[in-house]
């Protein structure tokens, strides 16, 4: 279909592959052990994340959705974009609220979803083409950094880059700064960056969201081991690890861990790596930082991403910030 282009960045000869897995080996050999959160998102991981988004305890998705439903018209009127780039697009469910408004007001022509899961990206892109007959979709399968590096200059007058769902919280402060700097380099003066951030709130609410009663988050967390087994010929036994998520109040972030239930040794043959675990030792698989609206706006300003408008829900649980370069 002419309106659909899908580029798998990892299959492009220009993308370097020499260091595949080195981030993983590094994290598993340090104390405390960590894993890069990108490995949470194989196709199964992305499916499980979609299920998490529908859980009653997981407040971020429904809160951000409500804000978008209420204010998407304003976002569209201000940005008037012809091209929407979305980092970590997943199933693009919330994005549809924006796409509807853009199309209604006759603005958007190109949608460039970026995601590490090729499976979900392709299914979503095909569905969007059916539902939006005038939209062109150019999906990029890869990490945000890879994809932003490959982004061509826009042929159309205005581009908006959206980063919803508070995925920024999964990055370290340094990682977030690097991303802001990359975005500021890509945007032209007068173009926009739309950022969704999960805000600081009482620990019980956050911890419940990451320890749901149906165990979906636990399955999502444990799936990282299955993904790594497949990719690196490993022998992690998921029954020997347990999900836990604890709020670090001082640093205002939830930390997701996998705790080893016994003393065990895991081998990752493709990396020539043996990893020893003590009973009770954990691997940190994800951080999810919770933001303060004032501080995050100050950070954005340092990269010349100037907040134009901020929207939030009635409890100030989630914020949507529209910045202009
Ligand atoms: C994608 N990201 C913003 C989610 C979060 O809330 O940090 C990932 C997630 N991890 C556990 N539940 C959801």
**pLDDT digits over 202-214, tens only?**
999 999 999 999 9
Tell me which residues have their CB closer than 6 angstroms to ligand 1. Answer: 52, 60, 165-167, 169-170, 210, 217, 256, 286, 288
**Stronger pLDDT, 81 or 275, i.e. the higher one:** 275
Q: Return the pLDDT at 15.
A: 38
Q: Return the pLDDT at 285.
A: 98
Q: How far apart (Å, rounded) are the C-alpha atoms in residues 49 and 58?
A: 11
Which residue, judged by its Cα, is nearest atom 7 of ligand 1? 288
Closest among 306, 118, 93 to 321, alpha carbons compared: 306
Q: How far apart (Å, rounded) are the C-alpha atoms in residues 316 and 84?
A: 26
Partners of 5 in beta bridges: 138
Calculate what percentage of the chain has a pLDDT beyond 70. 96
Query: For all residues of the chain together, what is the average pLDDT?
Result: 93
Mutate to test the pocket of ligand 1, among 175, 206, 210 (most ligand atoms within 8 A of CB): 210
Which residue, judged by its Cα, is nearest atom 9 of ligand 1? 49
Distance (Å) from CA 96 to ligand 1 centroid:
20
Q: Return the pLDDT at 14.
A: 40
Q: Worst-scoring range by mean pLDDT, 151-160, 203-212, 226-235, 250-259?
A: 151-160
Model pTM score:
0.93
Distance (Å) from CA 133 to ligand 1 centroid:
32
Q: Are strands 282-289 and 253-260 parallel, antiparallel or unpaired?
A: antiparallel
Which residue, judged by its Cα, is nearest atom 3 of ligand 1? 167
Distance (Å) from CA 81 to ligand 1 centroid:
28
Average pLDDT, integer, range 286-301: 98
Partners of 307 in beta bridges: 323
**pLDDT digits over 32-76, tens only?**
999 999 999 998 999 999 999 999 999 999 999 999 999 999 999
Average pLDDT, integer, range 170-187: 96
**pLDDT digits over 103-122, tens only?**
999 998 899 999 988 888 99
| The CA-based dihedral angle spanning residues 135, 151, 118, 212, taken in that order and rounded to the nearest 10 degrees | -90
Measured in degrees and rounded to the nearest 5, phi and psi for residue 245 equal: -135, 120
Calculate what percentage of the chain has a pLDDT beyond 90. 82
Distance (Å) from CA 288 to ligand 1 centroid:
7
Distances (CA, A) of 15 to 12, 96, 146, 147, 196: 6, 30, 8, 10, 29
Mutate to test the pocket of ligand 1, among 115, 120, 143, 288 (most ligand atoms within 8 A of CB): 288
Ligand 1 atom closest to residue 60's alpha carbon, by position in its atom list: 6
Which residue, judged by its Cα, is nearest atom 5 of ligand 1? 288
Average pLDDT, integer, range 296-305: 98
Q: Return the pLDDT at 16.
A: 40
Q: Return the pLDDT at 77.
A: 95
Q: Return the pLDDT at 11.
A: 57
For the beta sheet containing 253-260, the strands, ordered from the edge strand earlier in sequence to the opposite edge, are: 33-34, 282-289, 253-260, 241-248
Distance (Å) from CA 289 to ligand 1 centroid:
10
Distances (CA, A) of 82 to 5, 103, 173, 192: 17, 10, 31, 11
Q: What is the largest CA-CA distance in the chain?
A: 60
ipTM of the complex: 0.99
pLDDT of 2 over the 90 cut:
no
């Amino acid at each position: 279909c002419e309106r659909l282009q899908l580029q798998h960045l990892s299959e492009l000869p220009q993308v370097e592959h020499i260091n595949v897995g080195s981030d993983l080996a590094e994290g598993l050999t340090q104390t405390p052990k960590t894993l890069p959160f990108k490995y949470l998102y194989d196709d199964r991981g992305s499916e499980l994340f979609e299920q998490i988004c529908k859980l009653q305890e997981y407040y971020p998705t429904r809160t951000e959705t409500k804000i978008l439903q209420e204010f998407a018209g304003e976002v569209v009127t201000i940005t008037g974009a012809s091209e929407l780039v979305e980092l970590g697009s997943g199933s693009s469910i919330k994005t549809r609220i924006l796409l509807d408004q853009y199309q209604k007001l006759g603005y958007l022509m190109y949608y460039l979803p970026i995601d590490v899961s090729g499976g979900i990206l392709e299914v979503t892109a095909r569905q969007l083409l059916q539902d939006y007959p005038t939209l062109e979709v150019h999906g990029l399968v890869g990490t945000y950094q890879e994809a932003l590096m490959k982004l061509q200059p826009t042929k159309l007058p205005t581009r908006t880059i959206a980063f919803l769902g508070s995925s920024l919280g999964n990055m370290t402060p340094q990682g977030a700064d690097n991303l802001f700097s990359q975005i500021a380099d890509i945007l032209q003066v007068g173009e926009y960056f739309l950022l969704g951030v999960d805000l600081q709130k009482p620990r019980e609410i956050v911890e419940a969201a990451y320890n749901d009663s149906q165990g979906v988050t636990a399955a999502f967390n444990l799936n990282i081991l299955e993904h790594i087994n497949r990719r690196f010929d490993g022998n992690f036994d998921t029954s020997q690890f347990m999900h836990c998520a604890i709020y670090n109040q001082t640093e205002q972030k939830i930390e997701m861990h996998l705790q080893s239930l016994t003393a065990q040794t895991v081998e990752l043959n493709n990396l020539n790596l043996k990893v020893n675990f003590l009973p009770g030792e954990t691997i940190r698989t994800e951080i999810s930082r919770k933001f303060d609206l004032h501080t995050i706006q100050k950070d954005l300003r340092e990269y010349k991403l100037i907040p134009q408008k901020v929207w939030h829900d009635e409890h100030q649980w989630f914020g949507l910030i529209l910045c202009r370069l």
